[in-house]
Amino acid sequence: MYRMHNKLNPTLMYLVTLACILVSHLLDFGLAANSSSPRVSPRTKNASKAFFVFGDSLVDNGNNNFLITSARADSPPYGIDYPTHRPTGRFSNGKNIPDFIGEHIGVGPLLPYLDPNLSGKKLLNGANFASAGVGILNDTGMHFVDIIRMPYQLAYFEKYKERVHSLIGKQETEKLVNKALVLITIGGNDFVNNYYFVPNSLRSLQYKLPDYVTLLTKEYQNILMKLYKLGARKVLVTATGPLGCAPAILALRSQNGECIEELQKAADLYNQKLSAMTAFMNKKLGSDVFVYVESHNIIKDMTKNSKTLGFEVTNKACCGQGPYNGLGLCTGLSNLCPDRNKYMFWDAYHPSERMNRLIVEEMYSGFKYMKPMNLSTLMAIDSTKI
């Protein structure tokens, strides 16, 4: 059988391989349709791989717990629905997006890079370098003081590689990083904690919005190229969400619960540029290294179909105070909704655990919002070395 297979022409071999992947996806879809819990395909579960995360509070797993900053989620009721029912540093009532991605690809919960427990063989699982409050620009989130800005996240990644070198050698380390999945989520803070809601914002005085978005995408391209040079070959790049609809923004600007058009236009302009930039980089590199995730459209469509999905509240945070529970931090003194599963937002800016789960399910199995491929296809290609 194998001798006959080796004689197949390249086109037929490609079609056979493609058919195998499609059958695999149909099987995965069938399994998922019969279970509410996330499924991990045997191929991805048994394969040895790592997972790396970069970005802001949407994906921070607790690095800021080890820093002197107000951008922290280390006190109740954060973590109320996490398996330990204790705060972890995740800006969620439970699990966040990296957690659910890890479940789908067979990687256990990532440790924050600053966690002293991240050592030895635990390093081979990957690491989370994200830090709440950061942006693409180094001057974003200055009021948060001690956060891991993007140049330092990348520097920590280089340090991570050095540490792994000492465990498994340079060649195996490069192979580990090349095969790993990378997630980067950043950009929202450059609007809400720099251009817009910072008193006397220098950036808003320097740049008109289109020019500012151009600056952001140019700097982001440099960050992505640095990741590529460090060995990343499978990178999920997420769009920023519909900024004008976050409870925090509604509390500050909305009169009757309507989303703020100015922020929506800013997010749309940025996301269009980001999509074009990732496509350009893939063409330049001659490979689909960067997979663009239309997070904003996922959230917009889920909001439109909220009743069908079981959400009863779409514009108010579960935890907070003031209009739309959008003012200040989520603390033990805040208003707290009794059923987190009915809320799309957990706090003033961040999705609830259930929302995070649904977003990742769309990323993994859907095709509408993933350019040029969804996560299951990305992992299958990695597994079969196509």
Structure tokens at 256: 């009757």
Task: Round to whole Å and give the CA distance between 96 and 128.
Answer: 12
- Which candidate in 41, 347, 376, 383 is catalytic? 347
CA distances, 22 to each of 11, 62, 106, 179, 383 (Å): 17, 37, 20, 21, 14
Residue (of 293, 156, 131) closest to 227 by Cα position: 156
Q: Which amino acid is at 110?
A: L
CA angle 376, 358, 243 (to 5 degrees): 110
Structure tokens at 115: 């966690």
Residue (of 141, 144, 130) closest to 194 by Cα position: 141
115 is catalytic: no
Task: Round to whole Å and give the CA distance between 324 and 248.
Answer: 8
Helical packing angle, 353-365 and 10-33, nearest 10°: 150
Task: Round to whole Å and give the CA distance between 291 and 200.
Answer: 36
- Which candidate in 24, 57, 92, 383 is catalytic? 57
Sequence-separated (6 or more) residues with CB below 8 Å from residue 56: 130, 131, 132, 133, 134, 135, 185, 186, 188, 189
User: Can you give the C-alpha Rg of the chain in angstroms?
Assistant: 21
Q: How many CA atoms lie within 13 A of 23 on its CB side?
A: 6
Sequence-separated (6 or more) residues with CB below 8 Å from residue 286: none
350 is catalytic: yes
347 is catalytic: yes
Q: What is the DSSP letter of 321?
A: B
Scanning 34-108, the segments in alpha helix (DSSP H) are 42-46, 97-105
Task: Round to whole Å and give the CA distance between 261 and 13.
Answer: 51
Helical packing angle, 295-304 and 353-365, nearest 10°: 120
- Which candidate in 92, 350, 365, 376 is catalytic? 350
Residue 1: other Cβ atoms inside 10 A: 5
Query: Catalytic site residues?
Result: 57, 347, 350
